[in-house]
Amino acid sequence: MSVLQGEEGSGRGRRSPRRPNPMSPRGVRALGLFFILAAGLAGAQDEAAHAVRRKRMVETQIAARGVRDPRVLGAMAAVPRHLFVPAGSADQAYEDHPLPIGEGQTISQPYIVAFMTERLALGPGDKVLEVGTGSGYQAAVLARIAAEIYTVEIHDGLARRAAALLERLGVRNVRVRAGDGFFGWPEAAPFDAVMVTAAAPEVPPALFAQLKEGGRLILPLGDPRGFQVLTVVAKRGGKPVSKAVLDVRFVPMTGEIQKKKRP
Ligand SMILES: C[S@@+](CC[C@H](N)C(=O)[O-])C[C@H]1O[C@@H](n2cnc3c(N)ncnc32)[C@H](O)[C@@H]1O
């Protein structure tokens, strides 16, 4: 104590006037401020680390595999994927694979998100229907490229969580609905493009019906419990023109499509 007194040289008692008692209101305020600043700094460091991982993801997983559209690359570089995965998986968010998001569902591999988006050849004024909102990540990517996104998710909890996150991130051009995407979104149809992010054995008829003439639909077509082929279906003269583009494995589309009888 004597050393402290001597150093500070206040001569007015045992406590230095420039070193607040941590239990005094001033001390508690100072400690609070310290912790807020420290947490803010740690948060900023985390965000910077995620931004580095995101840039590397775009270069090494997406551009390197042939995705060229600058709007797609720009959207993938901008959307904070780490916020769309459970907090415990945030460090893996930019890795080259899908991740679980709860309810037995997944957020797709980043490359697949970019590939499917590019294949829709979207224009800035386009209206898009997504079936399978999941985390909301694909919708957030689409929202940076097209004008209006309508997305349907069969799991109520996932739909609510995705809607809340998109709202929190200020994404204003996505509408989320809980329901069976097999039936599309008739009130908002027709769509310039439709993306189905769950495996289906056939194109749900309502989705093709809700596609504009000249529009494009992409879906993983094939055995929902096995492998599928990403297929682009264009509407020409009211008829489907299909092109198989990539072998994939998605979680199955559930709901009405599973009730249909198969030979
Ligand atoms: C691979 S995940 C989609 C990932 C999502 N696009 C994302 O960015 O996180 C497939 C999603 O489709 C949903 N799904 C399956 N069948 C559906 C249906 N009939 N209607 C709407 N959503 C469906 C699943 O619940 C799951 O969330």
Residues 146 and 138: their CA atoms lie apart, in Å, by 12
Range of the domain at 244: 47-258
Is pLDDT of 14 > 90?
A: no
User: What separation in Å is there between the alpha carbon of 195 and the centre of ligand 1?
Assistant: 11
pLDDT recorded at residue 128: 99
Cα separation, 187 vs 206, whole angstroms: 12
Query: What does the alpha-carbon distance between residue 207 and residue 138 come to, in Å, rounded to a whole number?
Result: 18
Whether residue 151 has its Cβ less than 6 Å from ligand 1: no
Regarding the beta carbon of 129 and ligand 1, being less than 6 Å apart is answered: no
If you ran DSSP here, which 8-state letter would residue 86 be given?
Answer: -
CA pair distance 83, 164, nearest whole angstrom: 12
CA 107 to chain centre: 7
Does the structure show a pLDDT above 50 at 5? no
Residue 206 maps to which CATH number? 3.40.50.150
Q: Is 130 inside a domain boundary? A: yes
CA of 227 to the centre of ligand 1 (A): 16
Distance of CA 126 to CAs 62, 141, 194, Å? 23, 14, 11
**Cα(105)–Cα(98) distance, rounded to whole angstroms?**
10
- Predicted model pTM: 0.86
Testing ligand 1's pocket by substitution, the residue of 254, 256, 260 carrying the most ligand atoms inside 8 A of its CB is 254
What backbone phi and psi angles, to 5 degrees, belong to 180?
A: -90, 115
Q: Within a domain: residue 19? A: no
39 lies in a domain? no
Is the separation of the CB atoms in 159 and 103 below 8 Å?
no
Q: Considering the domain boundaries, does residue 263 fall inside one?
A: no
What is the number of domains present in the chain?
A: 1
pLDDT in tens, 196-217: 999 999 999 999 999 999 999 9
Of 10, 24, 108, 242, the active-site residue reads 108
Per-residue pLDDT, 13: 39
Say yes or no to pLDDT of 11 above 60.
no
Mean pLDDT along residues 93-101: 98
**Known catalytic residue at 242:** no
Of the candidates 133, 124, 115, 11, the residue with the CA atom closest to the CA atom of residue 64:
115
9: in domain: no
Q: Examine residue 108 and state whether it is found in any structural domain, yes or no.
A: yes
**Per-residue pLDDT tens over the stretch 123-137:** 999 999 999 999 999
CB of 153 sitting under 6 A from ligand 1: yes
Give how far the C-alpha of residue 181 lies from the chain's centroid of Cα atoms, to the nearest Å: 18
pLDDT one-digit tens code per residue, 41-65 = 666 678 899 999 999 999 999 999 9
98 contacts 107 by C-beta, under 8 angstroms: yes
Question: Percent of the chain having pLDDT more than 70?
Answer: 86
Query: Is 151 domain-assigned?
Result: yes
Question: Does ligand 1 come within 6 angstroms of the Cβ of 198?
Answer: yes
Between 10 and 94, where is the model more confident?
A: 94
- Residue 32 included in any domain: no
